[in-house]
Chain A
Amino acid sequence: MTEVDPTVDAPATRPRMSGIGRVLVAVYAVLALAATGRSFVQIATKFDEAPLAYLLSALAAVVYVLATVALIARGRTWYVVAWATIVFEFTGVLVVGTLSLVDPALFPHDTVWSAFGRGYLFIPLVLPLLGMWWLARHPVRRGEATA
């Protein structure tokens, strides 16, 4: 991570996501794509079967997209948005994951978060932790532009 990006001259103007953070963004982008695709199919073909579960899927998808954008964008506002969306995701995967195991009848249709994201290699469970770790390690500096 010692490489110098020639397009930025000072650390203060660096985008928050550089180095290994890029990989984090990439995984978030893939998950956002997966969640969006799935909820698109669910809502387009069988919305009537379980409106609540599918709306939850759509909400999760929107939050993943928002988190991806917030991780890339600069400024204090986006930093707060990144925290909010990632904490929301982590809460979601814990609550829905637990409920889907304790009382499967509540979530008869799979969501991204069912069984702690088992259908997605548990990435939805692990990713928010990595995201929070990253955000904690890379706080917005004082005086940095508020985008």
Chain B
Amino acid sequence: MTTLFDKVWQQHVVVPETPEAPAVLYIDLHLVHEVTSPQAFSELASRGLKLRRPDRTLATLDHSTPTLPSVNGELPYVTDEAKHQVATLRENAATFGVELLDFGSGQRGIVHVVGPEQGATQPGMTIVCGDSHTSTHGAFGAIAFGIGTSEVGHVLASQCLLQRKPKTMAINVEGQLRPGISAKDVILHIIRTIGVEGGTGYAIEYRGSAIRSLDMDGRMTLCNMSIEAGARCGMVAPDDVTFAYLQNRPRAPKGAAWDAAVARWRALVSDADAKFDRQVHIEAADIAPTVTWGTHPGMGASLSESVPSGDDAQFDKARRYMGWDAGQALVGRPIDVVFIGSCTNGRLSDLRAAANELKGQRVHPRVRMLVVPGSDKVKRDAEAEGLHDVFLAAGAEWREPGCSMCIAMNGDIVAPGQLAVSTSNRNFEGRQGKGARTILASPAVAAASAVAGALSVPNGV
């Protein structure tokens, strides 16, 4: 009768929910970054409070950090304020005893890339971070969701949150994905299907044979964008793919503890007769290479489609912002920028997919292409395979890890009016810089478009 979500939830209830009060929910892992934590640490300091569980708190630097290397020992921060924000997290980490994966640690990177690759993210956990893409960690069968800064303070001080249990939604993707279809295509298709508010109030469990066939990087891409459908949390039940990914990661259990953990994790599946509040069924064969044409992630279309006509006010505004004519073919639209990276698509398999399109090719002279690995480890692993040589030979920029052009708060921006094909997660107006236009796409579509200088269908699709 019980869903995966309910099983994990029940294991973390400290005080049960009543009509008068939400549950007190225990948090196993609190990930912290420089942007949403300073005011929370200040709150603790002003009340004279300590951090309850430094051992369950892990910090890194990603949003405000430059992706260009140091010059004369100085990182080129976009502003003094950004530099100060990074310094503030360093100070807070030292004062409160938080482990910080800093520059020089070899473990720094985007918080949602670092947690899994370090093995800190594990099945059955509750994981929070002051970042809406915390849903990424649900790929491991964890309940993981983004919180605001007040709640960051709550978790720092009490290791708990006040939460009402959300409704549950099963999204079943059955059958075999067509050749060349990636997890990014799957999630853009799902958001297009249920809408940008379709998941509001729900925790999603992604199920079905097409989901099982995804590797962990793909499952992370999928869960990452749950919030773009309004769902704070998206999950995939852990299985042998999950366990193989985690085994021997630095922070994963070892030896007998590993065996015990896997035995426990195998129980983390929805029962056959589990009841969900909503069920959505999607045929894997219906999913084509999918991108966005408009100004929110639900305004999606397959590459064979045209920009929707229709006089809906919001569509009209989106078409004007993006510079489309109604009915214009998507493929062939000239582009200015390609961004490969982010917590959505900044992992090793994403860089491989992009490099695969670029091998022996040149980035079109009109296009600026930025490749930003998700973490120090992704960068090392990519360089060990020679992927950076492919990018550099093609004329792309190969940068240091960080959120970079996804949120465009570190100086990596798309210029006003320019059109970017981006592997990130949000195509809101101005998301990648004031006046910037964004087409969300998979790494393969983005890289193929970089070569063509226009939105293109990748090879092998």
Q: Do A and B bind each other?
A: no
